[in-house]
Amino acid sequence: MILPIVHHPDPALRQLCKPVLDVAQTAGLAADMLDTMYHASGRGLAAPQVGQLLRLFVMDCSWKDGERSPLVMMNPEILSRSDEMSRREEGCLSIADHPVWVTRPARIEVMWVDETAEQRRGAFDGFDAACIQHEIDHLDGVLILDHEEKP
Ligand code: ZN
């Protein structure tokens, strides 16, 4: 099901989201968020962007290059960040036509719960690392606008 996407300056985008407690009950929302993300031609979508204040996001950074490889992260935690930084232009489905250059750690290690309630852990770099940090920012009410480098 395609869900309506919330746009800046909606207050839902500025809240601290609550942990997911019932994974089974939340898996349907995650599936709808993936439908919504692909439909909007995005690479990541966080629950507050569809008005749900839960620590959950979906992503698929490479689907535009070929097959879909969806990832659902509930209650994600960044365990470590590289000292090396990486700067890239990021867009956001909640902030239309306003890409922002953002500098973030180049590599991160993340722990999360997937849609089958399995606890997972992984290391990410490149576009994936930037996408995960962008989406976790959403769960803390942070937007790319807050990272905008002042001239
Ligand atoms: Zn975003």
d(CA 144, CA 132) in angstroms, rounded, equals 13
Distance 118 CA to ligand 1 centre (A): 25
Q: Does the annotation count 135 as an active-site position?
A: yes
Pick the CATH number of 11-146 from 3.40.640.10, 3.40.140.10, 3.90.45.10, 3.40.309.10: 3.90.45.10
**Domain range list for the chain:** 11-146
For 7, other C-beta atoms within 10 Å of its C-beta total 14
Among 127, 146, 149, CA closest to 44: 127
Distance 135 CA to ligand 1 centre (A): 6
Encode pLDDT of 89-126 as tens digits. Answer: 999 999 999 999 999 999 999 999 999 999 999 999 99
Encode pLDDT of 12-28 as tens digits. Answer: 999 999 999 999 999 99
Cβ atoms of 97 and 144 within 8 Å: the answer is no
Q: Categorize the per-residue pLDDT at 151 as very low, low, confident or very high, splitting at 50, 70 and 90.
A: low
Distance 66 CA to ligand 1 centre (A): 22
Given 90, 135, 148, 149, the catalytic residue: 135
The two structure tokens encoding residue 17 = 């989201």
What single-letter DSSP state applies at residue 4? P
Beta bridge pairs of residue 103: 87
